[in-house]
Amino acid sequence: MSIETIRALKEAAKLPKIKKIYRIAAKSAKRIAQEKAQKKIGNHNTLNEWFDVVAKRHLVNGYAVCQECGGLIPGDYMRHATAHLLPKKLFKSVSTNDLNYLVLCASNGCHDRTHRIDKFVQMKVWPIAAKRITELIPLLPYDEMKYISKQLYDALENT
C-alpha cells in the first residue's frame, strides 16, 4: 500500500458513518405467502368466507345448537364453536371443505374434547364425525396423508 492510500483510508475513517435504517414490514413475507395460498384452498375462497357460510347454515334467530349437548350458541361465538374435524393448519386442502366441521359449544368443553381421539370417540357426535372424516380422507393429497395418526385410523375402523 502506498502512503496516499493509507492517508485516504484514515481520512475516510474520520467521516461520520451513515446509519442504516431498519424498517419492520407491515406484513412479513411469510404471512403474505400464507394469505395468497389460503385464498384458493377448498370450496371457498378464504377461511373467513367459509366460517360465514357455516354460520349462515346453522344460525336460527341468532343462535346455533351444539351438535353434542344441544346447548344454545350465540351468533357472536359461532366462529369459536366451529370445530374442524381435520385441523386446518395441517390439512390445508380440506380446511374449507363443507364436511370438515362440527358445531360444538366452546364454553362448556364440547369443542375441546375433539382435540384428543380417546375423548372424541366417546362423544355422541363421533358417528357423524367418523362418517365425514372417512369422506374427507380420499380428498387429501399424498403429502397431507402423513398427518393422519394411527389412533384415528383405528378409531375409524372400530366405528
Each residue's pLDDT tens digit, 55-72: 999 999 989 999 998 889
d(CA 125, CA 151): 18
**Greatest extent of the chain over all pairs of C-alpha atoms, in Å:** 89
Span 83-100, average pLDDT: 90
Confidence category of residue 45, pLDDT binned at 50, 70, 90: low
The pLDDT value given to residue 129: 93
Measured CA to CA, the distance from residue 114 to residue 8 in angstroms comes to 71
What DSSP designation does 59 have?
-
Break the chain into its structural domains and give their ranges. 22-157
pLDDT of residue 130: 93
pLDDT of residue 37: 65
Please state the rounded mean pLDDT for residues 135-159.
89
What are the pLDDT digits (tens) for 7-41?
A: 888 888 888 888 888 888 788 888 887 777 655 54
Q: What is the pLDDT of residue 16?
A: 85
Q: Is 113 helix (H, G, I), strand (E, B) or coil?
A: helix
By CB atoms closer than 10 A (0-12, 13-18, 19+), residue 111 is buried
Nearest by Cα to 49 from 98, 85, 87:
98
What is the pLDDT, as a whole number, of residue 14?
Answer: 85
